[in-house]
Structure 1
Amino acid sequence: MNLATLALMLLAGFMAYVRLAPTNPADWHSDLGQRPTALVKPSPDAVTTLPNGAYTDLHLSPDQAQTTLAKLDVLALATPRTRRLAGSAASGRITWQTRSLIWGFPDYTTAQITADGLTIFARQRFGSQDMGVNTARLRDWLAKL
């Protein structure tokens, strides 16, 4: 076995791990009552980029928050390679999984109705930098609302 074959086998193994690693919804469908530790002071109604994702607090009335969460669910499910992982608009919290096109890296976005409106946290599963992918997706979804 030469070095190139070994490298290809390692690459294929990594790809299989990323695509086939099981997802436990309880790990990702978490209460957003606590802000991510990387977020010192969020900007209301603006998307804040984090090292591993993005975060926003939308200030909405309770009725607006419920309607916005339902619309966001429709938008998310219309996004390629995105599925609902857990929750529903009726329960007040939804988590979606979106996979990247080539590698199939999973990202998770949770939206939850809060006392102030709607909080949304998009983050990656693997790695420490998402290169702005979650920020771009979250901004795109919000622009379409």
Structure 2
Amino acid sequence: MAIVAVASSSKRLDAMRMMLFWSLVLLFLAAQAYVRLAPSDPALWHVAPRADSDKSFANGVVRRVPGVGQAGFQRLDALILATPRTVLLAGSPAEGMATYVSRTPIMGFPDYTTVITAGDDLLIYGRSRFGRRDLGVNAARVEGWIRALTAG
């Protein structure tokens, strides 16, 4: 009788482990769906940077590109839109401010980049939507765009 009780208890424990496993899988899939499907509200993300010079912070950067003017904004717009998994959210170079959404390759986390004219300069404000830190992803992306813009 004791062997039957142990086997029954073991089966219940296995069933609880499987239920926990599938609950965690479901939770992960729900979080992933939210990250990928949550709408990007332009009212929240299509905003000018609060800084007017180079600045780095935990989940993003602001960079100033001096002297490139409107023609530079047009070239930068083409560079940004040629970046994989990047689309225009709001605005345009003709309006003097544009915001783009770039998504990470595997998880699809959205990062937002706003470009605004400041005289003949451009201000580029890149930041992540989720998390407190972006591990330098926005800085690397923005600085890569600046290198490509100023190289050609």
Q: TM-score, normalised by structure 2?
A: 0.82
Q: Percent identity?
A: 43
Q: Tell me, yes or no, if structure 1 residue 8 matches structure 2 residue 25.
A: yes
The RMSD of aligned alpha carbons is 1.5
The letter for the 2-side match of 1:119 is L
- Deviation string 1:35-79 (CA, Å, 9 cap, x unpaired) is 29xxxxx44xxxx4320111111221xxx3201111111001100
Aligned residues: 132
Q: Tell me, yes or no, if structure 1 residue 29 matches structure 2 residue 33.
A: no
Specify every segment of 5 or more residues in structure 2 that has no aligned partner in the other structure, as ranges: 1-17
> Contact 1:49 / 1:132 at 8 angstroms: preserved in 2?
no
Moved over 3 A (4+): none
Q: TM-score, normalised by structure 1?
A: 0.85
> Contact 1:56 / 1:121 at 8 angstroms: preserved in 2?
yes
Higher helix share: 2
- Deviation string 1:96-129 (CA, Å, 9 cap, x unpaired) is 0000111110000001001361111000001100
Larger radius of gyration: 2
Counterpart position of 2:58: 51
Q: Tell me, yes or no, if structure 1 residue 139 matches structure 2 residue 137.
A: no
Q: Look up the SS of the partner of 2:36 in the other structure.
A: helix
Q: Tell me, yes or no, if structure 1 residue 117 matches structure 2 residue 117.
A: no
Q: Tell me, yes or no, if structure 1 residue 17 matches structure 2 residue 34.
A: yes
> Contact 2:66 / 2:120 at 8 angstroms: preserved in 1?
yes
